[in-house]
């Protein structure tokens, strides 16, 4: 997450949507008073700042109770306890409803808020390979799906009534053009972003997701459609998308 007082924007970081690349790039243009949360693993040139401090944990507890049955299980008591100990007032994938409670109202209302969303089937594959790098080569997609920890993003950028808290939700499929519009609006140079994104990319399998979901993985197409129903309805995604 980034809160830029210099350029008056709030970047809400979602999962598997080039968020690390965007955060690393935007941090170059942040001032000393801006909020820049840490990246894990760290990225050269990215310097976290102003993300620590005391905070009221009640919004996170409310969020956890609201989404405790969510397949993504985005917040746990362990997470909250760890943040209390380390005083991480802001962190990478902090939900907008929680961030909103920790900054002045005039900042939230007056700054331009944006995030990125991605086709659910493509996003799921990307998340699987990200998890697989940590679990080992024996970790297959069947096991991944059985664990049910899918990269649902809508809880990160909506309120409890399902309303989008971001002023703009860019499409991962149109990332360069969408972010180009955002950067122009904010007065942030867009040249050089693509090179940062390419460096941060770690996914090895570049096939279209329809190829991945052929054969033995075909049975998960509808499972993913059901799990991401909210995001599909919000953004009009379809399994037939070819972008």
- pLDDT tens, per residue, the chain with 243 residues: 999 999 999 999 999 999 999 999 999 999 999 999 999 888 888 999 999 999 999 999 999 888 876 666 667 888 899 999 999 999 999 999 999 999 999 999 999 999 999 999 999 999 999 999 999 989 999 999 999 899 999 999 999 999 999 999 999 999 999 999 999 999 998 887 766 655 455 556 678 899 999 989 999 999 999 999 999 999 999 998 876
pLDDT value of position 180: 93
pTM over 0.75: yes
pLDDT tens, 32-86? 999 999 998 888 889 999 999 999 999 999 998 888 766 666 678 888 999 999 9
Task: Output the DSSP codes for the chain.
Answer: -EEETTTTEEE---TTSSHHHHHHHHGGG--TTSEE---SS--TT---BS-B----SHHHHHHHHHTTTSTT----HHHHHHHHHHTBSS-TT--HHHHHTTS-HHHHHHSEEEEEE--HHHHHHHHHHHHHHHH-TT--HHHHHHHT-----HHHHB-TTS-B-SSEEEEGGGHHHHHHHHHHHHT---TTHHHHHHHH------S-HHHHTSGGGTTHHHHHHHHTHHHHHHHT--TT---
């Amino acid at each position: 997450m980034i809160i830029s007082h210099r350029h008056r924007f709030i970047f809400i970081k979602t999962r598997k949507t080039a968020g690390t690349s965007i955060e690393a790039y935007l941090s170059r243009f942040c001032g000393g008073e801006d909020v820049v949360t840490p990246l894990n693993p760290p990225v050269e040139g990215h310097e976290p700042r102003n993300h620590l401090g005391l905070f009221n944990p009640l919004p996170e507890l409310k969020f956890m109770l609201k989404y405790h049955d969510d397949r993504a299980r985005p917040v746990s008591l362990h997470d909250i306890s760890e943040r209390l100990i380390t005083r991480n007032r802001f962190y990478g994938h902090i939900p907008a409803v929680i961030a909103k409670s920790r900054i002045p109202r005039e900042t939230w209302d007056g700054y331009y808020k944006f995030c990125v969303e991605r086709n659910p089937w493509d996003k799921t594959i990307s998340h699987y390979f990200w998890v697989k790098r940590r679990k080992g080569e024996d970790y297959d997609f069947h096991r991944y799906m059985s664990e049910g920890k899918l990269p649902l993003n809508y809880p990160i950028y909506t309120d409890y009534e399902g309303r989008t808290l971001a002023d703009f939700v860019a499409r991962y499929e149109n990332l360069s053009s969408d972010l180009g519009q955002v950067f122009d609006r904010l007065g942030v140079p867009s040249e050089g972003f693509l090179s940062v994104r390419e460096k941060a990319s770690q996914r090895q399998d570049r096939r279209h997701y329809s190829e991945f979901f052929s054969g033995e993985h075909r049975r998960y197409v509808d499972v993913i459609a059901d799990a991401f129903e909210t995001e599909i309805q919000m953004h009009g995604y379809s399994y037939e998308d070819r972008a």
